[in-house]
A = this chain, B = another copy of it.
Amino acid sequence: MSPAAPAGRPSDASHLAPGFPVVAVVGGGQLARMMHAPAIALGVGLRVLAASVQDSAAQVVRDLRIGQHDDLAALRDVATGAAVLTFDHEHVPLEHLVELARSGVVVHPGPAALKHAQDKITMRRALSAAAIPCPRWAVVEQVSELLDFADEVGWPVVVKTSRGGYDGRGVWVLDDSAAAASLLGSVELAPGAAWLAEERVEFAQELSAQVARSAHGQAVAYPVVRTVQTDGICTEVVAPAPGLDGDTAVRAQQIALEIAGTLAVVGMLAVELFLTTDGRLLVNELAMRPHNSGHWTIEGAVTSQFENHVRAVLDLPLGAPTAVAPYAVMVNVLGGDHEDMYPAYRHCLARDPGLHVHMYGKDVRPGRKLGHVTVVGDNLDDLLVRAHHAADYLSGAIDE
């Protein structure tokens, strides 16, 4: 008997069956964590670069490196011997990825694609150049430019930092010129960031269209889903988007496929869309990785977004994105009153034997994404009630 050997570098990878590759993932969050189950099934290795052994993915993988996502040496180290380097998040400095690619590391999505997910202005320019429908937008440097833009599109106006925002951070909705002056006068932009102004779209629904695209260009489109954002955080997803007409759904899938091809995305791409009250589709945001709007695919689709991300970056043939049931509902579990969620969790499992609970191994902090629940079936109203009840009970918002 002895404790396990330290997770030495080359030895870990060599334990796979002959010929099977390693995928290196930068970032130890829940997205990397949820890639591990399909990697295990596929027989490929998943190596994770995490900031801490306590990170969500770090808890569950054998082949773990501890380091920072902005440290080129750490990135080189995790990529060595791996077939491909991919990501749990968009925050790796672009110049590092360019340097890694130059030195022969296979990076998917590559820097030429990923820059569009890192910088919203770069994204808007590329989509507008490709005639892909977006809300009206403008880069603004001064308050006067923002007021000019507001004159054109009308108040309220959405203002975003071009970089670094997520889950509602870095986005403001401004009602008037005073708010505009206040924001631009008080918030200091991060290095390299700029202000992006966008029209405030009157939407009937927010949608997400996800596609997987492999290195040699095979692509599959998932059913288009309806997302609900609360304070900028995706809190509910219904697959497929209820009541969405077939033509609009196909149009959303075509937009996502076109973006994936135009930007040469390899891996999963999520295109968040507004369906306007007058029936237009406008691209809101892009993510080039598995996305919260696709967690339902773990139980709700033949091949999950996590499996297809792994397949795509390895240039393996993609799996079917088809739904396995009429509806799937995913609701996020946010941190609330329970520091120890286990008793609530037992209760939820007992109450609903069909509930799929995914916990991310995180400490509880109010509002933090700690997990999600998914239910699959044919009665949408029933699924919504079940999923929200479980999520609310887990977070402590309700106690019966």
Q: Using CB atoms and an 8 Å cutoff, list the residues of chain A in contact with chain B.
A: 1-9, 11, 15-21, 33-34, 36-37, 39-43, 45, 53-54, 58-62, 64-68, 71, 73-74, 77, 220, 298, 302-303, 311, 316-320, 322, 324-325, 339-343, 345-346, 349-350, 353-364, 370-371, 376
Contacts and interface: CB of A to CB of B under 8 A. Distances in A.
B40 A36 contact: yes
Contacts of A40: 33-34, 36-37, 60
A317 B303 contact: no
Contacts of A16: 59, 361
Given A4-B7, A324-B376, 17 more contacts: A1-B74, A1-B77, A3-B6, A6-B6, A7-B7, A15-B58, A17-B362, A18-B341, A20-B342, A36-B37, A37-B40, A41-B298, A43-B360, A43-B361, A58-B62, A220-B353, A320-B354
A47 to B, nearest CB: 10
Contacts of A34: 40
A315 B97 CA distance: 47
A359 B43 contact: yes
The 10 closest A-B CB pairs, nearest first, are A43-B359, A19-B342, A19-B340, A1-B67, A37-B37, A1-B74, A317-B350, A320-B353, A6-B6, A4-B64
B3 A4 contact: no
A359 B21 CA distance: 13
Nearest to A356: B41
| Copies per complex of this chain | 2
A303 B15 contact: no
- By secondary structure, the A interface counts as loop
A372 to B, nearest CB: 10
Given A40-B36, A357-B41, A364-B17, A66 B5 contact: yes
Contacts of A9: 3
A19 B346 CA distance: 11
A358 to B, nearest CB: 5
24 contacts: A1-B67, A1-B77, A3-B6, A6-B6, A6-B7, A7-B7, A15-B59, A16-B361, A17-B364, A18-B364, A19-B341, A20-B342, A20-B359, A40-B60, A41-B358, A43-B345, A43-B358, A43-B371, A59-B62, A62-B64, A319-B354, A319-B355, A322-B354, A324-B376
Contacts of A11: 53
Nearest to A325: B324
B346 A42 contact: no
Given A59-B62, A61-B62, A318-B353, A17 B53 contact: no
A353 B319 contact: yes
Nearest to A374: B41
Contact of A370 (B17, B341, B359): B17
Given A316-B349, A324-B325, A358-B41, A1 B60 contact: no
Nearest to A353: B320
Contacts of A343: 19
B349 A17 contact: no
A272 B284 CA distance: 55
Nearest to A355: B319
A60 B59 contact: no
